[in-house]
Structures are given as C-alpha cells and as structure tokens.
Amino acid sequence: MVFSRRTFSAIAGSTALGLSLGGSAAELARAASTAPTGPAPRPPVADGAAHTVGFDRYSLLVDGRRVVLWSGEVHPFRLPSPSLWRDVLQKLRAHGYNAISIYVSWNYHSPAPGSYDFTGVRDLDLFLRTAAETGLYVILRPGPYINAEVDAGGFPGWLTATEGTARTSHPTYLRYVDEWLTEVDRIAARHLYTRGDGTIVLYQLENEYADHVTEPAGRDYMAHLYAKVRADGIDVPLFHNDKGRNGHWAPGTFDTGGEEGRWLYGFDGYPSPSQPPPDWGYFGAGGVKGGSTASPATPGLLAEFGGGWFDPWGGAEFGGQGYAESRRTRDAAYERRFYLTNLANGIKIHNVYMTFGGTTWGWLPAPIVYTSYDYGAALDEARRPTAKLVPMHQLGQLLGSVPELAKLDRAADAADEGTGAGIRAYHLVNPDTGAHVHVLRNDAADESVARIALAGTDVSVPVPGRDARLLAAGISLGRRTLRWSTAQPMLRLTTGRQDIAVFTGRAGDPSRTVLESPDEPAVTVLGGDARHAYENGALRIDTVLGGLTRVLVTGGGVTAPLLLLLADDEASARLWRYDTPSGTVLVRGPALLRTAALHGSAADLTGDTVEDADLEVWAPRGVDEVTWNGSAVRTRATRSGSLRAERQLPGVPRVTLPPLTGWRRRWENPESAPGFDDSAWRTADRTVSFSTTPVPGGRPVLFRDDYGFHYGDVWYRGRFTGAAGAGSVSLSYTAGTQGLLMAWLDGRPLGTHRMPVPDRKTVRQGTWSAIATFPVEVSGTGPHVLSVLVRPMQHDMDGEADDAHKVARGLTEVSFAGAAPVVSWRIQGMTAPDPVRGPLNHGGLYGERKGWHLPGFRDTGWETAALPRGDRGQGVCWYRTEFRLAVDPAVDASVGLTFTDDPARAYRVQIFLNGWNMGQYINDVGPQRTFVLPNGILRTRGTNTLALAVLADGTTPSGPGEVELTLLGSAAGGVPVDTVDSPGAQPG
C-alpha cells in the first residue's frame, strides 16, 4: 500500500467512545493518541529478530503497525497426525486467515501428577513451529481450564481425586496449576513473536471464568495466573474471554502486579443464526455489558465467535441431521452477516470457533458430545474446504491488504442513512485517510435494495435476504484511489509493473466501480464484458459480475497501470495471494495454493487440484518460469501481466478403496465368571473421597477415579455371603451422557441399564445418575460373585467452577432387597497409559487390557466371521481384520469408516485403527455413522489393522452391520505425511 508522508504522520482524532462507557481517565488518555493508518506488517515468521506486540483502542500493533487478527480456532489434539497440522494451517492461511487460536488440553498431556508428555501427537513445540513456518500468528490458550467440549473441560483425570475447589485460589489446586503452566510456558516462551522465535502474539488466562468474580478466591486466582505466566517469561499481551458480555476481568478488575497496558478484555459470543446479529461494540447499547465497550481503551476482542455449534448424542440440536445441518444454518451468508456486523462494531481481534473442528478421538470428548467435532466448520472434519470458506477468503484478503479497515470510527452520520426494507446500515470512517466503509445487512428473508450515499453519490445496492455486503469509498488501490464501488473490495497488491485490485460479489449482480483519475486514462477490457466512461475526474466501470472480468487502466496522470479484476464469488475463491520475501504473488485457478517461493526467475508453487484447473501467475518483475508441485509448467505471457499455463493442471486421479473382509472375532467378559481370578485388582475399601458425590454412610467408596481409573470402562466384582431371601439388587451409578451398566450374578446375566438419550432440554446435562434394579435368585449361603461392567462415559466439564468434574463416575452404592450382605469389592479399569497413544486411548475392557486392539496381536485362534452380524447376548465381542491401501503418493485421500445397520439394534462399538481409539459408535442413538481415519494413523500405502469392540445389552440382535471404508474427499497435492508411531502388541 502506498501512502503519502502526511498520511503516515497523521494523528487520530478525538476518542470515539466517551467516558460514559467506563474505563479510567488514564486508560482513555492513553487511547486518545493512537498509531497512524499504514500498511500491515508482513506475515510473521520466526526470524530471530525482536518484535513488539502491543495495542491501542483500535487494533493490535505489531512493530507499531496495525493488524486485524482474523483468526480461526484449531485444536492440535483433535487431529492426531502431526503431518496434517501443516495441511490444515496452509488451508487456513490460503483462505485469508492470518492467525489461529489453539487450546492446550491439560488432560491430553498429563497421565499423572508430575508426568507430562509433549512428544509425538502431543508435540506442541512442533505445532507452533509449523504455524510459524506457515506464516500465522498464534493465540495460545492453555487454560488451565479450557471447557472445549473435552473430558473434564481439559482437567486431567487425576485432578478429580485431589482436594480443594478447582478454579479458585485453593493452594493444592494452585500447586498443580503451577506445575502445568511451567510445562506449557517452557514451550510457549520459545515461540513468542516478541523474541522472534515463533509467532505467539496473545496468551489467554483461564477460560470463560464467570464465577467467584467478586470473591477473593477468584480475584486472587486470576492474579496468581497473571503473575505466574509473567514469571515464566511470557511477555506478549494477556487476556481472558468473558463468558458473555459481563465486563468480567476487564482491565483494572484484578491485581496485575502494577503492570498496565498489557491486559485485554475479550468475550465470547454464540448468537443464534435465526436472530439478527447483535451489536457488541460501536453500534450497541454500550457500557460494561455492551461487549467491547466494557474496555474502551483496548480493541474489540471476540475470543470465540460461533463458526458452527456442537451436536449432542442423539442429535437433538440439529434434528438428527448432524453437522451438515449446523453448517447449513451457519453458512456463507451467516458469516457475511454476522462477521461483518462484528467488524463494523470495532471487533479487530476476531476468532472463529471452530474453523477446523476435527475429531475428539478416544475418551477425550466431554460427555455431551459424540466423537466427531466437525462443528459445521468452514473446514470439515475430513479437512475438506466447504462453501463457508468463500466469505472468509474474501474478508481475510481484504483485511490483510486494505489497512484503512484496521482503524475505523463510527461516522457522524451513521444513524441517518436511508435504507430499504429490512436493511441495517453501518457507516464507518478512517480518521487518518477519510476512507469510508459501509456494511449493509439485510435481516429480512427476501432480497432488499439498500439506498445509501457513497462519496456523495446516491446509489442503490441489492442485498440478498439474511445476508450482508461491505462497500468502500476512498480507499487506496495502490497508486490510484477508489472513489466508490458497489462491489465488495477483496484485495489489492502491487506486483510486476502494475497494481492489482480485486472486487467481488454475487454472479449476476450489476456493479459500478468509480476511480479517481486527474486525466482521462486508457481503458482496455481484457476479459469479460464491461463498459466505461470518464467524466469530471472520475473513471466509471460498469459490469455484470460473472466469472472474472479484467479491466486494465493506464495513464490518466498516474504512473503505474491498474489491473482491475471483478470476480463473482466462485471466481474469487480461486484467487490466491501469497507474500514472499521477494515480493507478492497472485495465483488464479487451482483448488488451493499452499506455498509460493521465488528463486531467481522462477516462481515455485505448491498446491492442490480436484478438477482440471487453469494456472495463472502474477509475479514480481524478472519472473518468467513457473513450477507446480515440483514440475515445470509451460506458460505464455498475457496482456494482464501474468504468466498463464498453456495446459490445465490435471485433477485428482481416481481413488479405489478395498472391501473389509477376513474378519475374526472373539467374545470376552471372563470377568463375569465366578471363578475369574481378580486377585491383582484394586481393593475398593476407601471410606472418604474428594468427589463432590457423597459417600454412602457405612459403605465403601466405589467411585472409579478414587482408585486411579479415569478413562473408559471399569469392572467391579463383589463377593458376599448370607444373601438368602434377597429378591433384587439395586445398583446406583453415575455416568456421563449415554453411560450404561450391565451386571451378572454368579456368571448369569442380570441385564443392562442405559442412561436416556438427551432431548433439547437436556443436551447440556453432562452428569446422569440412576438406580438399576434387577431381580435376583440367591441360592445357598455362597460365596456369590456380583460382576458389574460400567461404561461411565466421561467427566462433566466445570463450566460453573463448582467442581462438576469431580462428580463420581461408576458405581456409587449397591444394596439388596430382602437381605443385607456385606460385600467386599475389587475394581479394575484401564492398565497403564499407552506410552505413545496417551492416557485417553483405552479403558478397562478385558480385550484392551490384553492388547486385542493393537496391531500385531496374534488372533489366529479366533473364529472367522463375516459381516453383517445378528448375534444376541450381553457383553463384549471383538472383531479384527486387516486391509491394505495403495493410494497414489501424490494424492491426499481422506478416508472414513462407515457403519450401516438397522437403528433399532442396540449396540455400540469402540473403533481402533492400528491401535488408536478413533471413537465410539452407538448404533441406536447416532447421529454419527462415519468416522474419519486420519492419514498418518491410516497407512494410505500399506497394511492397517482394524479392531472393533462391540458392546451389546442383549435386548436386540447386535451387529456390526455393514462396515466399509468411505472416500470422503481427495485432491492431487496435499502435504507429505509421516506415519504416526503405532506400536503393536508385545510378544507373550
């Protein structure tokens, strides 16, 4: 961007927000003098140089330059294949994101107090290096509590059995918090952008902490976290995300050790897509509860804004349609309408939760969600771009290349603009340059015409129903200035000998673009259909948007030509900007541009194609060669100043997947037999617990966490005598959503109890308690053995800071009707955590304890089987097979495992691929039936082991039914994928 010396030295006008909005006089005084409008900093890299990261009331400031953080939420722990981290991050950068936000989940890294694992799929250091190599800023969110729809909100299982109230200043809790933060911060400190060793620019303390706000236990806790993080060397600005618009933890509300100007107020927002977008800033009600106005001296920070929504077991949230319905209700029009409203309201740090949701594999998910965490996000669970990326692509490119948008005030006449029916208009102005931005939002169902004044000219602009548009006037297009346009600006850049500006809109929309021009310029229409006229110092260009219209403007008193590209939405999504140290490259055509590097006269590009695709490259002067994924491309120069491939890039070859055959199976449940040897099991004889669940008077603690079993299934075996006359046994148990219990007496099945499927009223209920009562016939004096298998699901989250994660899991009390025998209990859950796959990979099933889920296990003695099945019986049956894939190494194929069966059949399946627990399928609950198998864990060129642990309650015939591999998507290109370590069963 080219600006005059006067523009760079401009000082902003008076403070846009008055004292009535809150904030100290000192804060407002600091905010009154702000940094000037100017070009954004180059994409961040770990360059070894010191950088500054600060902010004023408008935006983040990196090395004194304004940057709007346009961020997408990504969770490394939801993609257990480190190679694919690069794939996702490259896609986000290409589609306009300049930042990512990541949670770090404590439970994922810590199997026991003092034990921390940051290797393999948990390599946070590698992820942060990859983000820096991709050119993305990082917002780090390590908790200690994260919520995130993960087990216990991210707290490790072992923390559930410790004293003290979590999320307060209790010393025991703080001791463990310090232990955790020491480990995370040791890594984070190596990746701070301030030191040039990485790209972390913001760091979050806690998460949606809305309780104990006015109490010492809460304020001391936040002060402790602040001091701890600073002591660990984290020197970037810190923030907290308010759980709604409450003004909680705004600057000055707790002790920061005397440090000022380094703390940001942020908040989260998940408005319903069926309601008009709210104003949480300039155009809102203001004040402490007005969103960003709670902290007028800091930029608007939306730490989480809904890019979708989670779906519960049974799918009640989306009518059983799953995440496809989430994506439909929060589609591209939703993004334009809601995100542009946020931008108009001064939100300059905007994080979309989620942008890639991924998979909550193993026992990682919170009880309220199933395995998939697709979320209806812009990148689906299989890493495929969706139509939702188009507006993010456009807006991200716009914010990165038009710096006027980083510093905007509400225009004086913002409330006086006339509009059409259903239209809400927002008018903002840059105080330095005088550039104007208009956001036009249509809250009606039908298209409406907005009537506004652009640079003094009354114009009419159609806005689709429940959609929005951004228009600009007075922005720089390089060495020319836009007077106004009815098309939305997308990007501008200078490359070669010309400036390039891109404007976008719906196919079929008429557009008018007016450029300032001291003299009449020469205009050449190079592609498409456009008309032009010159009058009174302005060039007018009219077209109907469709594909890509090219207009070259030269002369007219301006030294450099301007290539004007007018693109409809589809064409705009195939325009890729990439900044290199040697200059900016613009690429048109392929499905994705991953990287661009300039080496002498060559532009070396990497990326993806799905269909056959054009390739056109605008590059700096002297570049006359192009390579694509390492192969030379024959090109010709065009009148547009580009190099265009003489042949299209080929699309993706066909991918063939094999059928799943050769199954072997084996029943387990030896624990139900009276003679089973349980002498090595833990004796359940504790009498006190730190759980929030009361211990039944005079009875032992049966809660699984008190005996060190935190994840997966747990077995109980109780021995007793003297139960003559007993008519029934009542088993009280507590579990997460869709927990179940099954019992045997002296080897005979008593039955199964299941928690109900949640409805719309109970989708957020993470803990369920029930009493399962079974009739019994106890003959003789004994001894007798009561065997109980509980699938407790996961721990509740602690969103209210009331220790909900400490509610018991497993059996809580056992009693007999007609007798009162004394029962001695033993308990067994998961064995030692898998040293590679981690503590959440397996539970306490017999097969898991014996390694039946692992590759290399000798199953030659198992019986052969064919699917589908229709067995009936209570308990667990295992199925194993192997399959081989031979996918072209130049193809990125995303593969899923799909189950098809009669939904009336009651059974569930734990899915193990090469020993990795890829999730849980519940046939009669759903809605998930396809499970993504991430490449790296999945050997796309090699042999794979698939093991299914099928748990059935015996009330219906159980499957599995049809089980098949499904191609979820493929592209020619991708990233190199390393095999994820998948150790097999040990001999003997």
Distance CA 659, CA 639 (A): 52
Distance CA 961, CA 950 (A): 11
Distance CA 725, CA 248 (A): 60
In the predicted model, residues of the chain with pLDDT beneath 70 are 1-33, 414-418, 987-988
- The dihedral region occupied by 110, where left means phi > 0, alpha psi between -120 and 50, and beta the remainder, is beta
| Residue 528, pLDDT score | 97
| Residue 419, pLDDT score | 77
Structure token pair of residue 433: 């340059």
Q: Taking the model in full, what pTM does it have? A: 0.96
Residue 690, Cβ density class (10 Å: 0-12 exposed, 13-18 middle, ≥19 buried): middle
Note the pLDDT tens digit of each residue in 62-94: 999 999 999 999 999 999 999 999 999 999 999
Q: In what order do the strands lie in the sheet with 740-745?
A: 682-683, 824-828, 714-720, 784-791, 740-745, 748-754
| Residue 782, pLDDT score | 82
| Residue 34, pLDDT score | 77
Distance CA 703, CA 715 (A): 11
Catalytic residue among 27, 73, 183, 304: 304
Residues 126, 135: contact at Cβ < 8 Å? no
| Residue 779, pLDDT score | 83
Residues 763, 312: contact at Cβ < 8 Å? yes
Note the pLDDT tens digit of each residue in 717-756: 999 998 988 999 999 999 999 999 999 999 999 999 999 9
Active site residue 417: no
Note the pLDDT tens digit of each residue in 221-269: 999 999 999 999 999 999 999 999 999 999 999 999 999 999 999 999 9
Active site residue 304: yes
| Residue 710, pLDDT score | 98
| Residue 16, pLDDT score | 29
Please give the angle made by the CA atoms of 373, 379 and 383, to the nearest 5 degrees: 85
Distance CA 739, CA 48 (A): 51
Taking the CA atoms of 443, 448, 453 and 455 in sequence, report the sign of the dihedral they define: positive
DSSP 218-260: HHHHHHHHHHHHHHTT--S-EEEEESSSS-TT-TTSS--TT--
Catalytic residue among 73, 206, 208, 404: 208
Structure token pair of residue 174: 């703080």
Residues 843, 668: contact at Cβ < 8 Å? no
- Name the nearest CA neighbour of 928 among 349, 95, 341, 318: 318
